[in-house]
Structure 1
Amino acid sequence: MNRSWLLFCVLIGILSSCRTPFDPEVPDTELRILVVEGYLDTEGMKSELKLSRTVPLSSSASMLPEIGATVLLRSQNGQQFSLSEKGKGIYLFERNIDEKQTYTLEIVLKSGERYASEVLKPINTPEIIDGGFKRDQDGVEIFVSTQGNAEADDFLWTFEETWIYRPRIRTPYIYDSRLRDVRQRTEAEQNSLCFKTEPSPDIVIETSSRFQDQVVFEKTVTEIPEGDERIMERYSILISQKGIASKDVQFWEILRKNTEDIGSIFSPLPSLIGGNIKSLDNASSPVIGQVSLGVIRQKRIYVNRAEVSPWNYIDPQFNDCVIGEVAVLRAAYPETFGNGATVPARELMQGTTIIGYYPSSRRCTDCTLYASPIRPDFWEDN
């Protein structure tokens, strides 16, 4: 008995060590599939429809934008509302339309290919009851609460994050090649306060009828891990709450699974994800698309570092950032600071006179290398 068991274990070990990678061949038709995604607000809020093409996994780009398309929304009574092209495959919709009507989205690509959505019925999304954040041992959790109803039972949340980004070393000085001297930076030249903005990478959905009285209480929208860059000083998140039709939930569930489990042989191929967009020229032509209409409800939340302290933010790419120990004197300014890679960081004083500057690297002092120095219009200080 023991010998048989030993032989069985050896056989299993040999078989498991002989596995070879499975690299399925994907037809070219699966690599250039049209992707249509968007939620169009029906009460005049600017919203976006995105048209793009899928690319091979080996490509450095995640998507190829579909430009030059003609896109319009047609109501059941024949009214037409065109979407304007913003660029990079983004088409803008900013109309207050009759929410009692039903609509069809129509797309004509630059190539002449035609696509259309299924009949779309606007959904009056309930308000966000509450939103906020909680600090725990793992970081910060951002949440919202809402209540569904007979019309809006299923919800999709998307968000956009913005945060203050600072360089490791801040300096008010700049070398002016025209003056061949160092001077104070003007407000337009400041490079110590920047802002980063990123769209939501996650798909967050929920069905309110799973809960008592259809109250979705403190649904986690995103989590920020301990020490993350986003709360190095002040962080903002704009959460968009969207009611979706029950029949659309499966699309978002499949897409979420694919997003979280890329590369699994058990994940559906893109052509099997489907959606509510179809080709008018070739019924078998694959397209991934999900377009919805309704009222978008929004809430903006701010988080300050002081509210979640201690928050030990450390970016390892700046671990070698230091201010030089040997000051650069005036005669050496052009040679040292002229190419912009090395910058004046701290002054060397002789009495009340600056006679030189201790240097540092631009990559350690200039936040504009990593983010935008332009303050967002919506931004509020503490």
Structure 2
Amino acid sequence: MTFIKSYFTKALFFLIIFSCVEPIEIENLSFDNLLVVEASITNQLKKHHVQLSRTFQLNDDSIKNETGATVTISNSNGTIYTFTEVSNGQYESSIAFQATNNNTYTLNITTKDGNTYSSTPETLTATSQINCLSTNIEASTDGLDGVAIYVESSSTNESAKYYRYTFEETYKITPPFWSDKELMVISNSFPYRVAVVEKTIENKNCYKTLNSTDILVAETASLEENSVIFPVNFMLDTNFKIAERYSILVKQFVITPSAYNYFNTLKRLSSSDNVFAQSQPGFISGNISSNNNENEKTIGFFQVSTVSEKRLFFNFADVFPDKTFEYPYDCDFAAPILYDSFSQSSPLVDLINRGSYTYYSENNLGQSALEGPYLMVPSVCGDCTVLGSNVKPEFWID
């Protein structure tokens, strides 16, 4: 739920303080130090997470995590699930559990300064399954070609009319000038010696995983049919993520009308164009409040949602069969000499030790500008671990 953080970096405390547009002095703004809560549980059996932080000012360059808090979720059957702080501000349930029907759930927080906060009791929402994910070639607002990814779902349950989406995208990285060999420095001093040896580390194929940050919400309450066709992502045909093979895991959360209103308002205000809009709504109220001070504002919404998920794979050639993808990095060769008799140094050994270049092949180009015995390329062009992980995800299908 990092979209909440990105919003607060620019807009939040303006919305709390101002109700009209006036010339302001940024350095003289007053500031409210408010608790920010990002919490949801679902019908999936797993360890759930709660993120606690504080609002921060424009000139701050990092998230202010709320550490040392006591976090629990209690249900109407008397069960209490405790959470442990696994990293600064990140709290994880001590055991795996899932939200069930015929139960209400309440989030309870006690900060290290003794202040307590609670959510309203929330029940598990109705179920709606994702039917499919699909791709469609479209033009951006600037008229540039790209691929849109749509989620389609429908439900016969009239209670399932409000949705929030998140996604996790993973893409494959294969550098264009990979070699199964590398150069090893045998001697760092005169007489300099290097050797071509077999690689011991896999760095031909790597993978990078990123989580969505935008607020993605949809509703069918205003439609005649309770079905959703919603664009969750759009990428230009020049986006490196789709250069080879791409996968996206989309999660669909059925949410309450109040949660929809909260996130939809947050979405509308998260654009910098809206920070000083003519109509300022003031504070965005969630379902979490202070137990100590009824006038204290708290940011966040505790969700109890059903979730459905589906994964899609595609190759660049699948969606753009008539195009080729150009590698977006400069891959000019270098071929430094092994030994400079004037300086008694080794440009080749220096280049190897810096790690910015990697071996590609023996130098058979015969160009005067490339005098050394081996062709070297920038590491980003021959070593995929510069851009991703060489550990293949368990879910990956080639």
Bin of the TM-score, shorter chain as denominator length: 0.7 to 0.9
2:208 counterpart of 1:211: no
Paired residue type of 2:82: S
After TM superposition, give the deviation of residue 229 of structure 1 in Å: 1.1
Residue 13 of structure 2 corresponds to which residue in structure 1? none
329-338 or 104-113, larger mean C-alpha shift: 329-338
Residue 154 of structure 2 corresponds to which residue in structure 1? 147
Residue 242 of structure 1 corresponds to which residue in structure 2? 253
Structure 1 contact 193–373 (Cα < 8 Å) conserved: yes
Paired residue type of 2:158: A
2:138 counterpart of 1:121: no
- Aligned runs of 1:166-181 on 2, under 5 Å? 166-167=174-175, 169-177=177-185, 180-181=194-195
132-141 or 115-124, larger mean C-alpha shift: 132-141
* Alpha carbons of structure 1 residues 362 and 240: separation in structure 2 relative to 1, 3 Å: same
Q: List gaps (5 residues or longer) in structure 2.
A: 1-21, 140-144, 188-193, 341-345, 366-371
Distance of 1:171 and 1:110 partners within structure 2: 54
2:278 counterpart of 1:257: no
Structure 2 contact 268–274 (Cα < 8 Å) conserved: no
Residue 196 of structure 2 corresponds to which residue in structure 1? 182
2:332 counterpart of 1:322: yes
Q: State the TM-score, normalizing by the size of structure 1.
A: 0.82
Distance of 1:91 and 1:272 partners within structure 2: 26
Distance of 2:103 and 2:278 partners within structure 1: 37
2:353 counterpart of 1:338: yes
After TM superposition, give the deviation of residue 257 of structure 1 in Å: 1.1
Identity %: 27
Residue 132 of structure 1 corresponds to which residue in structure 2? 134
Residue 226 of structure 1 corresponds to which residue in structure 2? 237
Structure 2 contact 244–315 (Cα < 8 Å) conserved: yes
After TM superposition, give the deviation of residue 158 of structure 1 in Å: 0.9
Helix, strand or coil at the partner of 1:306: helix
After TM superposition, give the deviation of residue 36 of structure 1 in Å: 1.0
After TM superposition, give the deviation of residue 227 of structure 1 in Å: 1.3
Select the residue among 374, 386, 390 that pairs with 1:369. Answer: 386
Q: How many residues align?
A: 349
Distance of 1:358 and 1:21 partners within structure 2: 60
Residue 79 of structure 2 corresponds to which residue in structure 1? 79
After TM superposition, give the deviation of residue 136 of structure 1 in Å: 2.9
Distance of 2:354 and 2:337 partners within structure 1: 15
Query: Normalized per residue, which structure has more helix?
Result: 1
Paired residue type of 1:358: L
Paired residue type of 2:167: F
Distance of 1:97 and 1:228 partners within structure 2: 38
236-245 or 341-350, larger mean C-alpha shift: 341-350
* Alpha carbons of structure 1 residues 39 and 270: separation in structure 2 relative to 1, 3 Å: farther
Residue 59 of structure 1 corresponds to which residue in structure 2? 60
After TM superposition, give the deviation of residue 328 of structure 1 in Å: 4.5
* Alpha carbons of structure 1 residues 58 and 372: separation in structure 2 relative to 1, 3 Å: farther
Structure 1 contact 164–194 (Cα < 8 Å) conserved: yes
After TM superposition, give the deviation of residue 337 of structure 1 in Å: 1.7
Structure 1 contact 158–200 (Cα < 8 Å) conserved: yes
Structure 1 contact 328–359 (Cα < 8 Å) conserved: no
